[in-house]
Amino acid sequence: MKVKATSWCVLWMVMMATGNGWSQDQPSKSDHSVTAESVTAESDGQKPRADGEQDKDRQSIDCAAAPACKLKGLCAEHDGDCVAVLPEHCTNSVACSEDGRCTLASQACIAVGTDCEDAAVCEDGGRCLAENGRCIPGGVAPIPVEPPSQLHAPSAQREHDNMPWPHPRCTGDDCREHGDCSDIGGECAAGSRDDCQQSLDCREDGRCFYDATAHSCEDTMMRKSKAAVVLGIVGIGVGTAAVLVGSIGLTFLSDVCHADTSCNEDDTTPVYGAITVLGGLVAVGGIVAVTVGAPKVRRQAVVSPLPRVTVALSGISLDWRF
């Protein structure tokens, strides 16, 4: 009996060993699932995890730790894709600081409103205007300043001169819209940085820079050469007029001389011809001057005191606001 029991014990051990070997050669469905799910984690240098643990931490493995999270704000998993779902996903991304795409919309980061003004693309590339979710050339970046206290209150006092703000004579639409809230030589004009920053022009057009020379509110960009622009415009006008005069003179002279045989066309033709040619050259020079002077560059100093002409019903005023 003792030998028989021993034989049964040996047989049982052999069967168990054989069964374990067969099961190891044929992995179960769950074993295959874990192995497949581990591929992504192992490729990222992370330790494979079980099914439940991977489902729970899929977001952190696939998206939050991926480069696209830091670069584009795509930090959360949704239906197998990495998307942005929280505002901070966008605001903390490189896409916000570099490209102005700081606003969450439809699970992505886009540029809207003033997002572009604080981005690198505005300062370095002049792309300060948000359109169709991205920053495009245009717009201006307001000069960073501390907002003055009680700026919009009519009874507020200016810190530098203790004068009431705005001036009692300058409380109309020009103050609200253009910052002309101070009494400058008996006329309402911008008299401080505060005047410009509270204006509608500042909020809508970026005209927040106070030009103490012209007493006006300007944006942070300026024409490369305003003098060249003005001279170019004048040249285009004068040159075009000369071309018209010369062309009309030549046509009229030709018609008259054909009708009157005593007319000597050779005496006056060179004059009108010269007027036409010179007018064309002046007009072309004006176009070149405007092309050179018109591009905007970032303002480095107070604008030139040379003004432009503004014609109104009350008279003619001079200003460089263009």
Say what the pLDDT of residue 219 is: 73
Three-state secondary structure readout of the chain: CHHHHHHHHHHHHHHHHHHHHHHHHCCCHHHHHHHHHHHHHHHCCCCCCCHHHHHHHHHHHHHHCCHHHHHHCCCEEECCEEECCCHHHHHCCHHHHHHCCCEEECCEEEECCCHHHHCHHHHHHCECEEECEEEECECCCCCCCCCCCCCCCCCEECCCCCCEECCCCCCCHHHHHHCCCEEECCEEECCCHHHHHCCHHHHHHCCCEEECCCCEEECCEEECCHHHHHHHHHHHHHHHHHHHHHHHHHHHHHHHHHHCCCCCHHHHHHHHHHHHHHHHHHHHHHHHHHHHHCCEEECCCCCCCCCEEEEECCEEEEECCC
Quick: pLDDT tens for 69-119.
999 999 999 888 899 999 999 999 999 999 999 988 888 899 888 888 888
Say what the pLDDT of residue 47 is: 47
Say what the pLDDT of residue 319 is: 52
Residues of the chain where predicted confidence (pLDDT) is lower than 50: 1-5, 19-50, 52-54, 56-60, 141-161, 301-308
Q: Is-above-0.85 flag for pTM?
A: no
Say what the pLDDT of residue 214 is: 78
Say what the pLDDT of residue 305 is: 44
